């Protein structure tokens, strides 16, 4: 195993701060779900999601900067401070500031340092604004997607917090927090049906669903791990009952489960359906929001995930970096549709992608999948 301890501190801090971010998001989401449905209009959905987005970004930025003071910490993340700096956003900034201070006050529970005194609005804006790196092939860059899967977040369904470290253009660490993704696969459908059928007010207790996990991997270790979220007042103890995760061994497309996006906005559903069909996939697809799809493959809940963007959409590195390294270290394969590994060294976007992204549980299935993509591509007019 190469450089086993080279990134020990980075991985340690990253896992702890993602646990913290999961807890923060759960609180914001509970606030969202206890408002009766007719009151949650889209504008409020947006602002509640942005409270989570900005609060996570500020928290992660602050913790990374404090933990690695000796480095000029470079962070690439999705949110910018323009909206939050406007005069009419003062109320929103106050909410974000309170949310961040509330979680940072509990930092010791996660084995991290709290600020000496509560952060003010200016410090929050500074922490969010610091995440303006453009990445590239040189140096170290942290990559953060504070809340991936906005719709899932608003609906009380799947979403993810993704943090990765890129060094010299390669992803070396990936951490994926999945606050509504239960540790046990059997509970996945239960959780989903529960949310479909139950009024939003009566959420099950966290113990009944043991919901939520954090997955992580370090490049070159050949291992990927999953931990349960911290419940109640428990303290985080490394490695927090971590379980080893591995991709599925299924390589027959007929037995494979195919993961697909719930939203149709930025992916081409009909093309992926065509590929699945020409592969001979028979099982119902697993439809999940966000990067939780990578988690599903890493853990063996599904075998295939494809994303072919609609014309003009450019894939961003924070939507993939953490998921890709976790799937690869868990034994899976992630490439573009031409079979080439994804290139994280070109800045904020995954430049030079051949058509789309293909992730799967093993090399044999991957070869069949790439073949089916070529066959379908020729007959489709994307």
Active-site residues, by number, are 53, 150
Q: CB-based contacts of 257: which residues, under 8 Å, 6+ apart? A: 283, 284, 285, 286, 301, 302, 303, 304
Strands annotated E in 205-242 = 213-218, 224-228
According to DSSP, residue 280 is labeled: T
Helices 363-379 and 269-279, axial angle in degrees (round to 10): 120
The whole-angstrom separation of Cα 217 and Cα 225 is 6
CB 290 within 8 A of CB 351: no
The whole-angstrom separation of Cα 22 and Cα 147 is 10
The whole-angstrom separation of Cα 81 and Cα 130 is 9
Residue with tokens 């529970």: 109
Structure tokens at 58: 């500020």
Instruction: Find the DSSP H helices in the chain.
Output: 8-34, 42-67, 82-85, 90-104, 121-129, 150-154, 186-197, 206-209, 269-279, 292-298, 321-329, 363-379
* Residue 19: C-alpha distances to residues 43, 214, 305, 341, 351 (Å): 28, 7, 25, 29, 31
Q: Which of 261, 336, 267 is nearest to 302 (CA)?
A: 261
Q: CB-based contacts of 14: which residues, under 8 Å, 6+ apart? A: 163, 165, 173, 175, 216
Helix-then-strand count for the chain, H and E = 12, 12
């Amino acid at each position: 195993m190469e450089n086993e301890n080279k990134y020990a501190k980075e991985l340690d801090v990253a896992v702890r701060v993602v646990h913290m971010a999961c807890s923060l998001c759960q609180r914001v989401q509970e606030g969202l779900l206890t408002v009766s449905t007719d009151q949650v209009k889209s504008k409020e959905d947006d602002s509640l999601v942005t409270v989570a987005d900005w609060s996570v970004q500020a928290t992660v930025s602050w913790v990374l900067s404090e933990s690695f003071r000796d480095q000029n910490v470079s962070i690439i993340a999705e949110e910018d401070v323009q909206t939050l700096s406007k005069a009419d956003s003062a109320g929103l900034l106050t909410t974000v500031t309170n949310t961040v201070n509330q979680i940072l006050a509990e930092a010791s529970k996660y084995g991290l340092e709290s600020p000496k005194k509560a952060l003010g609005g200016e410090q929050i804006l500074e922490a969010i604004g610091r995440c303006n790196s453009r990445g590239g092939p040189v140096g170290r860059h942290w990559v953060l997607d504070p809340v991936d899967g906005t719709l899932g977040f608003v609906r009380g369904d799947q979403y993810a917090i993704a943090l990765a470290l890129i060094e010299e253009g390669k992803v070396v660490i990936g951490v994926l927090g999945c606050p509504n993704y239960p540790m046990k696969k059997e509970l996945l459908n239960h959780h989903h049906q529960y949310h479909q059928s139950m009024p939003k007010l009566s959420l099950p207790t966290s113990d009944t669903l043991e919901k939520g996990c954090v997955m992580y991997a370090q490049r070159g270790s050949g291992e990927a791990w999953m931990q349960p979220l911290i419940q109640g007042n428990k303290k985080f103890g490394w490695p927090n009952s971590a379980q080893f995760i591995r991709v599925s061994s299924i390589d027959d497309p007929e037995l494979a489960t195919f993961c697909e996006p719930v939203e149709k906005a930025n992916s081409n559903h009909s093309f992926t359906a065509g590929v699945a069909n020409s592969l001979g996939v028979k099982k119902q697809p697993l439809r999940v929001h966000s990067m939780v799809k990578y988690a599903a493959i890493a853990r063996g809940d599904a075998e295939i995930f494809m994303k072919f963007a609609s014309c003009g959409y450019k894939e961003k590195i924070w939507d993939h970096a953490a998921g890709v390294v976790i799937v690869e270290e868990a034994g899976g394969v992630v490439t573009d549709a031409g079979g080439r590994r994804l290139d994280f060294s070109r800045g904020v976007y995954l430049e030079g992608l051949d058509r789309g992204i293909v992730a799967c549980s093993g090399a044999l299935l991957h070869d069949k999948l790439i073949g089916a993509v070529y066959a379908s591509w020729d007959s489709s007019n994307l």
